[in-house]
Structures are given as structure tokens and as C-alpha cells.
Copies of this chain bind each other. A is one copy, B any other.
């Protein structure tokens, strides 16, 4: 693997997209693909694709292209999918439930090990084979188990309180679905936010924009 003198965020954010495409190619029995073809299918230039991959190594073969299997392996490895990261979910409401049941953590190489909630109605139950523990037991659980990623799906006002418990328990990353900004002091903890509203408002912008622009189509002079 090549040295990486800081790889840009743009490149990183494209990797999961490559992975999805490769999965789909694999499912369709495609054995190899050129950067040109891959670019066409993804709406990217072949140059960009080769540049992106070359940040991490030399995965192709001149005159032939890339082996879909190999490339998928490499990318999944770069993305940490082969590390067996341990994941817990905090909050077993509808969204937590949906993630546990439908997201498919293991599909991406993660090990979902436990869920936590305050609601007596779900405590002790299992969701898709995952046990729901009382939130009280979270510190104790963390002291006895390595947790790499905590999925934060609690009500918004609990977010920072829970985040502090996670930090103190040595959790290394938070995947944050609450709309709260995690602003506790936690220099070593990684935080990735999913802001539903950012996504919907972006869509809404383009919709509004189109509405304004379409009614006045440019008439050629």
C-alpha cells in the first residue's frame, strides 16, 4: 500500500459509492472493469477514478482494467470493513429498531453486540437477535467490552449526556442520528452525524429553484 500524504475527504466519501457499485457488478457476475466503464456507470471521469484508487495503491492491470473481486476487497479493507468493529445501539425506539433490524451491520463487517434503552417495555427483549439492556448498565457494559462505534438514536436532549458516558467508557466513535450537536469535550472520539434535515432541505432547495426557473424558459433570440 502506498503512503498517503493526507487523502482528501472528497476521495473518502467516494469510496463507499465505489463499493456499492462493485457489489452490484459482482452480483451481476462482472469479473473485470476498466476505469472508463466504471466512470461511465458512476458519472465520473476515468481520470478521477484512477486518481482516487492510486491514493491507496495499484489495484489495476494495464490493458485489462480492474478485477471486480480484488478491487472490492481492497476498498472494503481500506474502509475498515475487515476489522470486525464492535457496534452498540443506544436507543431502541422506531429508528433504533429499524437500524438493528434492517441496516445489516454484518454486511459491512461490523459486529452488532448490544442495544440499550430506558423503556421497560423493550428492556430484556431481543430485536433481530440483539439483546436490549437497560441504559443503567451501559457504563458497566463498556467497562467489560470493547466498543468501537456507538449508534446514537436517543431523544435529542439525551444526546450529550449519553455521549459523555460513551466517552468515559472508551467508545471510539459515535454515529449520531440525533439532531443534537455533540459538544462535550472528547478530542479522541470520532463523530459522524446523520442530519436528515440537511438532506431533505437540499432536495427542497432544488425543487424550489426548479419551480422558479422552469416557468420562464429561455427564448432563443
Q: Which residues of A approach B to under 8 Å, CB–CB? A: 12-13, 15-17, 19-20, 24, 78-81, 83, 85, 93-95, 97-99, 101-103, 108, 110, 148-149, 172-173, 175, 179, 181, 190, 192, 194-211
Taken together, the copies of this chain in the complex come to: 2
Residues B206 and A108 in contact, CB atoms below 8 Å apart = no
Residues A81 and B204 in contact, CB atoms below 8 Å apart = yes
- 22 A-B residue pairs with Cβ-Cβ distance under 8 Å, sorted by A, are A12-B202, A12-B206, A13-B198, A16-B198, A20-B179, A20-B197, A79-B205, A80-B201, A80-B204, A80-B207, A81-B201, A83-B208, A83-B211, A85-B204, A93-B102, A94-B97, A94-B101, A95-B98, A98-B98, A149-B203, A172-B207, A175-B199
Residues A95 and B85 in contact, CB atoms below 8 Å apart = no
Residue of B nearest to A4 (CB): B209
Residues A108 and B15 in contact, CB atoms below 8 Å apart = no
Residues B207 and A173 in contact, CB atoms below 8 Å apart = yes
Residue of B nearest to A194 (CB): B199
Say whether, besides A93-B98, A94-B102, A95-B95, A192 and B203 are in contact (CB < 8 Å): yes
CA distance A13 to B195 in the complex (A): 11
Residues A190 and B175 in contact, CB atoms below 8 Å apart = no
Say whether, besides A79-B208, A95-B102, A207-B190, A19 and B149 are in contact (CB < 8 Å): no
CA distance A198 to B103 in the complex (A): 12
Selected from B85, B149, B196, the residue in CB contact (under 8 A) with A103 is: B196
Residues B95 and A202 in contact, CB atoms below 8 Å apart = no
Q: Which 7 A-B pairs have the closest CB atoms?
A: A80-B208, A94-B98, A192-B203, A80-B204, A95-B98, A16-B198, A16-B201
Q: How far is the CB of A210 from chain B (nearest CB, A)?
A: 7
Residues B94 and A173 in contact, CB atoms below 8 Å apart = no
Say whether, besides A80-B207, A85-B207, A16 and B194 are in contact (CB < 8 Å): no
CA distance A202 to B15 in the complex (A): 8
